[in-house]
Chains A and B, each alone.
Chain A
């Protein structure tokens, strides 16, 4: 029941403020409370090379690039230090299976931290 209800509650709360796309693996805390899924290229690891001179998006010229916004906010907002440190982390590919599920449940169950087995392979040089 909760599993069915929570996605609605989460969306109702997050959509108006963050334009939440219900990817089910929320990273808002590490991206200056800016949702990377609103980037037209859904980039999770920072801005593409197409950002305009005025800081707006390559694809939607009237919108500020979400990564410019995220960077400004990470610097200026009084966010916890560890959140700021998370900003430069390499975030894994989106798990499409989680689309439409509640990131709150996935956070509690740690489902949102599951990555494909290969993702964490460390190299000889690293």
Chain B
């Protein structure tokens, strides 16, 4: 059973999701430690698929390990590293292990990672991957071959509300919804006006699509600069950068900014939760959640 689906589809509760730290050694003990840290705050947590085009422990095995320690995974699949056969087998592998939540993404290009010489695959794109997952949920592989019984998936996707062409982002969200996505995690957006326009637009054309904007916990001006310079598709307005840089304590100011962004996002139409990416790993997650008025689940 997917708690995420249950909450999003059958309640009005606000959901919280996060990113599971990539596993690079450290064994199951490290997975257990991180699961214990995240479980009190989050309904479901993303098992990433070679994020930022860096190789790590695979999406499926990470998702299985998370589940073993009681954390509900949202298993991501990106289109960069696998062709349509491998993507379908990822989905079936997930289903075999009782993983229901899938999130289908295009993926950063190989040039964003530390092995830019790799071949990029992109055999299918994210909208096609969503449609294929939906078809599998209807009991067929892409070829038409039967799957009995059909796997049970709850499908999501990702969209960048703040990247050009802005108007078209709404159409693309609608396309993903029509293909089968029921929730949309949004990339971090430092332009509240753009996020607002996007959410309003989506709420009009696809009112059932659940939107989950992202906020990122960064340490200070340097972290913000990193988001702007290194993360594809992310722009931090100069005025926002200046505000943090010129503050007497940039680290306090950046927390204030994050909290403002989070509170604003939660007021927007169609928004059903928040996705929180923690780049600080210094205990600020607990403080941030407390500031939002939340208490940990027991």
Closest A residue to B235 by CB, please name it: A53
**Within the complex, which residue of A40, A44, A47 is in contact with B109, where a contact is CB–CB below 8 Å?**
A40
**Within the complex, which residue of B111, B132, B159, B175 is in contact with A45, where a contact is CB–CB below 8 Å?**
B175
Q: B113 to chain A: closest CB distance in Å?
A: 12
- Number of A residues near B (Cβ < 8 Å) is 38
CB pair A117 B233 closer than 8 Å? no
A116 and B136 alpha carbons, distance in the complex (Å): 13
Q: Tell me if B152 is interfacial: C-beta within 8 Å of chain A.
A: no
Q: Tell me if A46 is interfacial: C-beta within 8 Å of chain B.
A: yes
CB pair A90 B179 closer than 8 Å? yes
A92 contact set on B, CB distance < 8 A: 128
CB pair B122 A119 closer than 8 Å? no
Q: Tell me if A71 is interfacial: C-beta within 8 Å of chain B.
A: yes
A122 contact set on B, CB distance < 8 A: 138
A46 and B169 alpha carbons, distance in the complex (Å): 9
Interface residues of B (CB under 8 A from A): 79-80, 84, 106, 108-109, 111-112, 120, 122-128, 131-132, 134-135, 137-138, 140-145, 158-160, 163-165, 167-168, 171-172, 174-175, 178-180, 187, 232-233, 235
A117 and B132 alpha carbons, distance in the complex (Å): 11
B163 contact set on A, CB distance < 8 A: 47, 49-53
Interface centre among B128, B159, B179 (most CB of A within 10 A): B128
CB pair B124 A59 closer than 8 Å? no
**Within the complex, which residue of A47, A53, A119, A126 is in contact with B168, where a contact is CB–CB below 8 Å?**
A47
B164 contact set on A, CB distance < 8 A: 47, 51-53, 55, 65, 68
Q: Tell me if A88 is interfacial: C-beta within 8 Å of chain B.
A: yes
**Within the complex, which residue of B141, B175, B178, B233 is in contact with A51, where a contact is CB–CB below 8 Å?**
B233
| A59-B109, A116-B144, A126-B178 known; A49 vs B120 contact (CB < 8 Å) | no
Closest B residue to A96 by CB, please name it: B123
Closest A residue to B165 by CB, please name it: A71
B111 contact set on A, CB distance < 8 A: 59
CB pair B106 A43 closer than 8 Å? yes
Q: B79 to chain A: closest CB distance in Å?
A: 8
Q: Tell me if A15 is interfacial: C-beta within 8 Å of chain B.
A: no
